[in-house]
Amino acid sequence: MSDPLRLGIAGLGTVGVGVVKIVRQKAAMLQSRTGREITISAISARTRDKDRGVSLTGYAWEDDPVTLATRDDVDVFVELMGGSDGPAKAATEAALAAGKDVVTANKAMLALHGQSLAEAAESAGAVLRFEAAVAGGIPVIKSLTEGLAGNEITRVMGVMNGTCNYILTRMQSAGLPYEEVFEEANQLGFLEADPELDVGGIDAGHKLALLASIAYGTQVAFSEVELEGIGQITIEDIRQAADMGYRIKLLGVAQLTGRGLEQRMSPCLVPDSSPLGQLEGGTNMVVIEGDQVGQIVLRGAGAGEGPTASAVLSDVIDIARGTRLSTFGQPATTLRPVTPARATAPAPYYLRMLLQDRPGALAKIATTLGEAGISIDRMRQYGHSSGTAPVLIVTHKTTRASLDEALVAMPATKALAEAPVALRIEEA
Amino acid sequence: MSDPLRLGIAGLGTVGVGVVKIVRQKAAMLQSRTGREITISAISARTRDKDRGVSLTGYAWEDDPVTLATRDDVDVFVELMGGSDGPAKAATEAALAAGKDVVTANKAMLALHGQSLAEAAESAGAVLRFEAAVAGGIPVIKSLTEGLAGNEITRVMGVMNGTCNYILTRMQSAGLPYEEVFEEANQLGFLEADPELDVGGIDAGHKLALLASIAYGTQVAFSEVELEGIGQITIEDIRQAADMGYRIKLLGVAQLTGRGLEQRMSPCLVPDSSPLGQLEGGTNMVVIEGDQVGQIVLRGAGAGEGPTASAVLSDVIDIARGTRLSTFGQPATTLRPVTPARATAPAPYYLRMLLQDRPGALAKIATTLGEAGISIDRMRQYGHSSGTAPVLIVTHKTTRASLDEALVAMPATKALAEAPVALRIEEA
């Protein structure tokens, strides 16, 4: 029998408590599956005296997570504090420098500092794992890093922010406007303290950048993710999309093309009969496409105590079993810097515009699109009201560059009463 | 740089050729992901002279897979011959006895001999892995063994025979009877040489038995899987199920209850809005439920050159990276023997009967059900024809034992013109 694997856990919020519970309550199961005992040596959190619904007796307490991370009786530092910098990063760096393995759920830290942390881990002979940072309980990091490692990945897509998917599907099912459902989600405690992290696509963008790194062997490059939030989506967009056989999702897409790496996190239309289109509520979904395997779809809870703790435990169990993998699937020093590419993969687009109700307005818009090389697949004009006319256009496949060219030229036509909304239609 | 990892591949059918292609064409990618070269030393197949669409020069040829498996220049024996016994088993045993690691796609061999082969692997210090044996390209063995290892698994379900799902969804979409679609599938080459392996549920039952072993830490027990094929499903069943909001799937379910391990592979009704209900055509889906993670759904191609080769490569890559896991997720000697339980988990059932058109016939059936403690949720009787009347009943939740009691008592009522069909309704 091997020695016990001793954890030091920093951060005792929902996820930290979930991890403590599993380690305490499922000790026999974990031991039978790993061949060794998994124990907790020490813990750390902002507040010491607080009933967390689980006994913490027998664990040493550290006020300072850096001290915790470097204790002699800690083999694995489990970082569940969150925050891209500050104590989380300091303690992670200290743990790695001391040769400790690190398991973290911290997507922001890895999205911003993944490359340097992975290099630090490797030069110390330690492993740094982060299954819980992306899509909660779904074993997506493992699937991509290991299960599909025989593939050249051709596209990774995902709905990875449950709050946004809740808002969008609730708008549709209840017929409510964005502002009202946003407030509802807020009341239910679904939103981050800074809601822009959710509805602005930042949180999901962090996750996409991590997936892209593994998929394409590139250095994490969150700053190159094209971010667009869901705040501009109206109930009318959702209804019109539904009417045409689509659903609107905050969708992350990463693709490596001849021009470089595309990383987009933006509201997209997807076919309502596709797995992504059928995804309701707060559930997450990741779609991985490989040259050998075709399309693999993974679906499950993206947040919450149990699902996230399950993912943390999978990394801990790997370490207990002696599995030692590079953070992003290959040595960090071999990851290539990203050449970012703006969306070059052509796609059809959905355009919503409000036309001035005057003769020739629609013709001017159609001409502007035509001059940018964009042809119209479907068009609908609605009944006039107060001097303006809503128009919806679905284009044939075009590039984002052509579309931008048309969008830039539109104001000069004076045909529009407000700025148009353009959403990509992603084949799913 | 580590030494190359040298493969010996036995079996050059679709999957074997797919594996050779990846190793040849993606050498640089595999090396960057594993840190070592993956090479092929020797190959073996039934027929030597045959154009397989890929160059085999540079590989030693062995007529006898046993000789191949034990060659000095083979580190990993890749068994892709198939067949539960015979050369596949002999060569696997020889490889393990010689301390070689083994990667196989052979579900039948593992379903029948998994326990003894896993023990042989462990006593030789070798690993025996089989990602490709279950659900083709879907990384389900990895997800269950590793990604969800922090969970007590509460239920595993799956549609794991693409041919059956093709037949059932094609019957529905084209409105064709079973016999006609079966013949169509046969023409398309979708069926095994012995079609009973597909439509009788045997192939999918093998896969279910492997998943159950990992999920519950029990010895593989294919002989205890309750098997029921799809041959009795009529187009009317499919239409009626659709009418009530269900789809019919050949569904495998494994559950550990207080009474023991239930393993069922049988046609079931699932809600049409569930991921399983929405699964069309030849695609596979596995649903894993854990006490922490909730429900995880994995979907992808269950067969074919690329997807299956992708799964084989994932095992090879694990070995190249130094990952060494027990075949069924814990040492084979610690796996518990199965106490089989007939379906004790209560469920609603769908019953199709043909009543004699005589007064009181329906009352007798209802009485028989009531006497077995089964209450009726929904009932439909259709227009009479030629002296008989079709009746459909959906029961409230009941046990299989109660249902069997009622079914056994029914002939004595003389109310039925033919034997009833009973299908479980599985919450999904």
- Count of CB pairs separated by less than 8 Å, A with B: 180
Average pLDDT over residues A255-276: 94
What is the separation of C-alpha A344 from the centre of its chain, rounded to a whole number of angstroms? 21
Of B139, B147, B152, Cβ closest to residue A148: B139
| Phi and psi, residue A197, nearest 5° | -55, -40
Domains (range + CATH), chain B: 5-133 (3.40.50.720), 140-302 (3.30.360.10), 349-425 (3.30.70.260)
Read off the DSSP letter of residue A411.
Answer: G
Written as six digits, the tokens of A368 are: 């502007």
Q: Out of A161-170, A338-347, B283-292, pick the least confident.
A: A338-347
Which chain A residues are closer than 8 Å to B294 by Cβ? 137, 300-301, 304, 306-307
Cβ under 8 Å to A: B residues 327-346: 329-331, 334
Q: Which of the following is catalytic: A142, A207, A249, A364?
A: A207
Using DSSP, state whether A215 is helix, strand or coil.
helix
Helix/strand/coil (H, E, C) string of B192-206? CCCCHHHHCCHHHHH
B1 pLDDT higher than 60: no
Predicted pLDDT at B231: 94
Closest approach of A414 to chain B, Cα-based (Å): 46
| pLDDT at res. A9 | 98
Q: How far is B117 from chain A (nearest CA, A)?
A: 19
Q: Quote ipTM for the complex.
A: 0.96
**B275–A299 C-beta distance less than 8 A:** yes
- Mean pLDDT (whole number) for A209-219: 98
Pure H helices in B98-161: 107-123, 140-142
Q: Do B307 and A297 touch (CB under 8 A)?
A: no
CB contact under 8 A, A310 and B148: yes
- Asked whether A196 and A245 are in contact (CB, 8 A), the reply is no
Cα–Cα distance, B420 to B422 (Å, whole number): 6
Of all residues in chain B, the one with the smallest CA distance to A274 is B278
| Rounded distance between C-alpha atoms, residue A247 and residue A240, angstroms | 9
Q: How far B294 CA lies from chain A's nearest CA (Å)?
A: 7
> Is A292 in Cβ contact with B309 (below 8 Å)?
yes
Nearest by Cα to A304 from B292, B425, B330, B272: B292
Q: Is B89 a catalytic residue?
A: no
Higher pLDDT pick, A66 / B419: A66
Distance from C-alpha of A32 to C-alpha of B273, rounded to nearest angstrom: 38
Does A14 lie at the interface with B, CB-CB under 8 angstroms? no
Q: How far is B266 from chain A (nearest CA, A)?
A: 24
What is the pLDDT, as a whole number, of residue B341?
Answer: 87
Nearest to A300 among B35, B296, B309 (CB): B296
Instruction: Please report where in the chains the tokens 């080459």 appear, as a residue.
Output: B189
Among B389, B401, B297, smallest CA distance to B349 is for B401
Report which residue type is found at B205: G
Task: Give the nearest partner residue to B323 out of A26, A300, A323, using CB atoms.
Answer: A323
A308-364 pLDDT tens trace: 999 999 999 999 999 999 999 999 999 999 998 876 789 999 999 999 988 889 999
Contact (CB<8Å) A148/B142: no
**Rg of chain B in Å (alpha carbons):** 24
User: Is B226 annotated in some ligand binding site?
Assistant: no
Task: Answer whether B343's CB lies under 8 Å from B226's CB.
Answer: yes
User: In the beta sheet, which residues pair with residue A353?
Assistant: A391
Question: Which among A342, A348, A343 is positioned nearest to A426, based on CA atoms?
Answer: A348
List the single residue in A149, A292, A304 with the smallest CB-CB distance to B307: A292
Q: Tell which A residues from 251 to 280 touch B, by Cβ distance under 8 Å.
A: 275, 278
* Residue ranges of the binding site of A: 107, 192
Phi and psi angles of residue A393, each rounded to the nearest 5 degrees, phi first:
-130, 135
A327 phi and psi, to 5 degrees?
Answer: -55, -45
- Nearest-CA residue of chain B relative to A273? B278
Best of B151, B293, B318, B335 to substitute, by most chain A Cβ atoms within 10 angstroms, is B293
Which residues of A are annotated binding-site positions for L-homoserine?
A: 192
Least CB-CB distance to B22: which of A22, A150, A278?
A150
Q: Do A324 and B322 touch (CB under 8 A)?
A: yes
User: pLDDT tens-digit profile of B5-62?
Assistant: 999 999 999 999 999 999 999 999 999 999 999 999 999 999 998 999 999 999 999 9
- Say whether A29 and B152 touch across the interface (CB within 8 A): yes
Q: Do B298 and A301 touch (CB under 8 A)?
A: no
CB contact under 8 A, B309 and A150: yes
pLDDT in tens, B238-279: 999 999 899 999 999 999 988 899 999 999 999 999 999 999
Question: Contact, B362 vs B381, CB < 8 A?
Answer: yes
- Smallest Cβ–Cβ distance between B146 and the set A26, A298, A318 belongs to A318
Contact residues on chain A for B317, CB-CB shorter than 8 A: 146, 149-150
Q: Which pLDDT belongs to residue A254? A: 97
Residues 205-244 of B with CB under 8 A from A: 217
Token pair, residue A328, equals: 């992003």
Contact in structure between B400 and B344 (CB atoms under 8 Å): yes
pLDDT tens, residue by residue, B154-210 = 999 999 999 999 999 999 999 999 999 999 999 998 998 899 999 999 999 999 999
Q: Nearest by CB to A33, which of B138, B296, B329?
A: B329
In which band, very low, low, confident or very high, does the pLDDT at A381 lie, cut at 50, 70 and 90? confident
Considering only residues 87 to 126 of chain B, which have any Cβ-Cβ distance to chain A shorter than 8 Å?
none
Average pLDDT score over chain A: 95
Query: CA of A206, closest CA in chain B: separation in Å?
Result: 21
Contact B325 A325 (CB under 8 A): no
Q: Which residue of B has its CA nearest to A31?
A: B330
Out of B89, B100, B142, B207, the active site residue is: B207
- Picking from A29, A142, A322, the nearest residue to B142 by CB comes out as A142
Is B301–A310 a contact, with Cβ atoms under 8 angstroms apart? no
Bridge partner list, B395: B376
Structure tokens at B354: 């043909």
Q: Does A316 touch chain B (CB under 8 A)?
A: yes
Lookup result for tokens 């987009």 = A264
Distance from CA of A238 to the nearest CA of B (A): 20
- Flag whether residue A24 sits within 8 Å of chain B, measured between CB atoms: no
User: What's the length of chain A?
Assistant: 428
The span from the CA of A270 to the CA of A254, in Å, is 16
Best of A285, A293, A333 to disrupt the B interface by mutation (most B CBs within 10 Å)? A293
On chain A, the residues whose CB falls within 8 A of the CB of B306 are 291-294
B residues 366-425 lying closer than 8 A (beta carbon) to A? none
Nearest residue in chain B measured CA to CA from A276: B275
Q: Do B32 and A309 touch (CB under 8 A)?
A: no
> With contacts defined as CB-CB under 8 Å, which chain A residues touch B330?
32-33, 35
pLDDT over 70 (residue B307): yes
Confidence grade of residue A1 (pLDDT, cut at 50, 70, 90): low
Per-position b or e across A348-375, b if 16+ CB within 10 A of its CB: bbbbbbbbbeeeebbebbbebbeebebe
Chain B interface includes A301 (CB < 8 A): yes
